[in-house]
């Protein structure tokens, strides 16, 4: 079986940057890996991602949002995660079921028990083996994310969540730290305020320690 590693954190915490660097590191060591993301990772997931992250012209209810993330995850697990695990790959996944607990549970206020049940249903009980949380103050994370969005200059920017109040992002950060506190065997928290190279060294350390196991 492969190894399922997820990267979590508030927006702009550096997940994409670190996953890319970790992929390069594994490639140089000839370790077979797969990079994927949620929402996304499959053709259906990418369509759902557009609905969820672009501002759009219609309102999305909190319930519809929760179910769309779950629908994308169900397809992602079936088409991408399970086959890659069977092939023995190391999976580097940008967000997974913990994101739903953090955003829709701690952030939007849905029952955590209900979300856990929904997560079990959409994942068939598949959970990450290791979860890296990149932690930093929300003001800095949102600033980094907005700068990246402006740099990209997309016609339909993926900024629906970044436009939430800072208090929403504070709840997400607290949510991740609470999840990590309750499952220290799976979570590793990294201070994402440090420079990119220092963060990368810490990510490498935890990932390689886990892989060598
Ligand atoms: N969401 C949800 O609500 N429920 C769910 O179940 C799931 C997701 C799965 C999409 O996630 C949104 O969906 C997300 C939660 C919600 N909310 N939002 N927005 P996403 O992962 O696709 O989007 P994101 O979190 O906004 O990703 P991001 O903005 O791309 O952030 P990132 O990947 O963590 O950061 P980055 O792109 O690597 O870095 C951002 C910028 O900071 C970039 O210019 C870097 O060069 C810079 N950077 C990175 N690291 C550093 C350090 N260490 N120092 C200085 N600058 C840095």
Could you read off the pLDDT of 139-158 as tens digits, one per residue? 999 999 888 877 776 767 77
Give the count of beta carbons closer than 10 Å to the beta carbon of residue 200.
20
Q: Is 99 in the pocket of ligand 1 (CB under 6 A)?
A: yes
71 CB near ligand 1 (under 6 Å): no
What is the reported pTM? Answer: 0.96
pLDDT of residue 57: 67
Q: Which atom of ligand 1 is nearest to the CA of 192?
A: 53
Q: Is 14 in the pocket of ligand 1 (CB under 6 A)?
A: yes
For ligand 1, the distance from its centroid to the CA atom of residue 16, given in whole angstroms, is 7
Which atom of ligand 1 lies nearest, measured to the CA of 70? 6
Two tokens, residue 142: 């949102």
Which of 10, 14, 179 most suits a substitution to test ligand 1, by most atoms within 8 Å of the C-beta? 14
Q: Which atom of ligand 1 is nearest to the CA of 38?
A: 9
What confidence score (pLDDT) does residue 27 get? 98
User: What pLDDT score was predicted for residue 146?
Assistant: 87
Instruction: Find the 154 Cα to ligand 1 centroid distance in Å.
Output: 16
Q: Is 54 in the pocket of ligand 1 (CB under 6 A)?
A: no
**How much is the pLDDT for 42?**
97
Task: List, for the chain, all residue ranges whose pLDDT scores fall below the cut of 50.
Answer: none
Which residue's C-alpha comes closest to atom 3 of ligand 1? 103
**How many angstroms is it from 11 CA to the middle of ligand 1?**
4
CA of 95 to the centre of ligand 1 (A): 9
Q: How far is the CA of 141 from the centre of ligand 1 (A)?
A: 8
pLDDT value of position 92: 98
């Amino acid at each position: 079986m492969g190894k399922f590693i997820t990267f979590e954190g508030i927006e702009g915490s550096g997940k994409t940057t670190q996953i890319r660097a970790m992929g390069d590191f594994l490639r140089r060591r000839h370790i077979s890996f797969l990079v994927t993301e949620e929402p996304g990772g499959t053709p259906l997931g990418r369509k759902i991602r557009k609905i969820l992250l672009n501002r759009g012209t219609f309102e999305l209810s909190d319930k519809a949002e929760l179910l769309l993330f779950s629908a994308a995850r169900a397809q992602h697990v079936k088409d991408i995660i399970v086959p890659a695990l069977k092939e023995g790959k190391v999976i580097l996944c940008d967000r997974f079921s913990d994101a739903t607990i953090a955003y829709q549970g701690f952030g939007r206020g849905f029952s955590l028990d209900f979300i856990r049940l929904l997560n079990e249903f959409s994942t068939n009980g598949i959970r990450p083996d290791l979860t890296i949380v990149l932690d930093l103050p929300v003001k800095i994370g949102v600033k980094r994310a907005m700068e990246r969005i402006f740099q990209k200059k997309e016609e339909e920017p993926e900024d629906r969540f970044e436009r939430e109040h800072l208090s929403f992002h504070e709840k997400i950060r607290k949510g991740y730290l609470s999840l990590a506190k309750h499952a220290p065997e799976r979570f590793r928290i990294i201070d994402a305020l440090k420079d990119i190279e220092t963060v990368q060294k810490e990510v490498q350390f935890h990932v390689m320690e886990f892989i060598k196991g």
